[in-house]
Amino acid sequence: MRRRTRVVIVGAGFAGLAAARTLAKAGALVTLIDHNPYSTFQPLLYQVATAGMSMSDVSYPIRTYAAKWPNVRARRGALSKVLPEKRRVELDDGSTLDYDFLVLATGVTTNWYDVPGAPENAQPLYSLNDAAALRRRLQHCLEDAVAGRRDSVHVVVVGGGSTGVEIAGTLAELRRRTLPLTHPEIRPDQTSVTLVERFDFVLAPYRPLLRNAAAGALRKRGVRLRLGTTVASVEPDAVGIVDGTHVPSDVTVWALGVTAPAYVAEWGLPQTKGGRIRVTEALSVPKHPEIFVAGDLAGPPEQLPQLAQPAIQMGKHVGKQVLAAAQGLPLRPFSYRDPGIMATVGRAEAVLQLSNGLTMRGWPAWLVWIFIHVAYLLGGRNRITVLVNFFWRYAGPRHAATSVSE
């Protein structure tokens, strides 16, 4: 680039990092802002929650990432105001940053769907802190059961998407394979894992064959499936169903959906369904061509799945459009290239669906799932430790199985 364009990127998730990489390689002056000093690999948060991995395995320091390029700087902070007329943003500490182009990629947050008691009594699984909190909750419940301060440790997972299926399958395997060794004081009838889903099937975006395979794998692991069931309330010790019944629950995991944070409305930008920011086909904000939105926060004309691949592709696209706009070139519409979707149910069991119609399940799909996730991790150390942890957890000796109380 002939002119050193100043670009502020807010959010260090998949989309923000992809945009930063594209812009940094082209020589733009990039400032990467996030309220956390690290980037989180969200697809593996359920492994942190169940003690299969540590927090450092699925996080990567933003400053370490920025240090790869001399023209990239990292700042810790949260976006407070967007001042488009001044091309300036204000952070929560009162400081300001001027920009030529702004990229908003802050992501979204848990959607409670106005279910009474859900925010107070359910455990979300969207951030690293959420995973740590769920892990502590499970630890305390198990220790209370051992000490006789609690009669049961029943877990209810609300939501049958990829996150719900993955956490339910992992918890069920811990219940059957690990707890008898690490917590022999707890009887099998004192624990259970139940998955509640409003549809009559799990994994809605998948083909019926794979949905049925995933449901069968969950049942095989001892998960109680309550399909076609809508949650009416979440209580401290139960999940209420719309038919008036209650499912006992000592730990309720909320894996139902996401929405834009309430503070996005304060930025003064147009919003669409779910509070997301309305964007053009090129992912720029209408009437503000210098502002782009990428990732789950973007509300493009065509709804995209809220997964890592769309966010990465949107981030790369936004980076290229900023470079084009800086040179006075026309913007190009975003086009998503669907590589397929996959989800794991537990040890040696996963489902994979490619955009060309090819499907795979079982052990081969599980190996593909592992290596693809490892490949997208940031940092060589993270890739090695995660790969070792995967095979140690699922292929290592049973007596060495990781317990959630560690």
Mean pLDDT of 204-228: 97
Q: Do 179 and 299 fall within a single domain?
A: no
Asked whether residue 350 carries a pLDDT value surpassing 90, the answer given is yes
Residue 383 lies in a domain: yes
Q: Do 248 and 266 fall within a single domain?
A: no
Q: Which domain holds residue 11?
A: 6-35+77-108+260-326
Predicted pLDDT of residue 396: 67
Token readout for 127 is 């951030």
Which residues are within 8 A (CB) of 366 and not within 5 positions of it... i.e. 6 or more apart? 344, 347, 348, 349, 350
Q: Is the dihedral of CA 138, 141, 147, 152 positive or negative?
A: negative
Mean pLDDT of 191-211: 97
Q: Do 283 and 386 fall within a single domain?
A: no
The DSSP H or E segment spanning 292 is: strand 288-293
Residue 290 lies in a domain: yes
Q: Do 385 and 269 fall within a single domain?
A: no
Bridge partners of 143, per DSSP, are none
Q: Do 176 and 122 fall within a single domain?
A: yes
Residue 201 lies in a domain: yes
What is the C-alpha separation between 387 and 395, in angstroms, rounded? 12
Q: Do 167 and 234 fall within a single domain?
A: yes
* DSSP reduced 3-state for 54: coil
Say if CB 178 and CB 169 are below 8 A apart. Answer: no
Asked whether residue 146 carries a pLDDT value surpassing 50, the answer given is yes
CATH number for the domain spanning 20: value is 3.50.50.60
Asked whether residue 305 carries a pLDDT value surpassing 80, the answer given is yes
Single residue among 303, 326, 349 that ends a domain in this structure: 326
Mean pLDDT of 381-388: 88
CATH number for the domain spanning 253: value is 3.50.50.100
Residue 61 lies in a domain: no
Q: Which of 26, 38, 42 is nearest to 124 (CA)?
A: 42
Of 329 and 393, which is predicted with more confidence? 329
Token readout for 270 is 């147009």
pLDDT range class, residue 359, cuts 50, 70, 90: very high
pLDDT range class, residue 392, cuts 50, 70, 90: confident
- Give the total number of structural domains in the chain: 2
Q: Do 271 and 253 fall within a single domain?
A: no
Mean pLDDT of the chain: 94
Predicted pLDDT of residue 406: 52
Q: Do 212 and 268 fall within a single domain?
A: no
Residue 125 lies in a domain: yes
pLDDT range class, residue 302, cuts 50, 70, 90: confident
**For the whole model, what pTM was predicted?**
0.94
Which residues are within 8 A (CB) of 203 and not within 5 positions of it... i.e. 6 or more apart? 160, 161, 162, 165, 210, 211, 214, 343, 351
Asked whether residue 194 carries a pLDDT value surpassing 50, the answer given is yes
Predicted pLDDT of residue 389: 80
Asked whether residue 2 carries a pLDDT value surpassing 80, the answer given is no
What is the C-alpha separation between 92 and 97, in angstroms, rounded? 12
pLDDT range class, residue 403, cuts 50, 70, 90: low
What is the C-alpha separation between 186 and 179, in angstroms, rounded? 8
Mean pLDDT of 365-381: 90
Q: Do 272 and 181 fall within a single domain?
A: no
Half-sphere exposure of 249 (CA within 13 A, CB side): 29
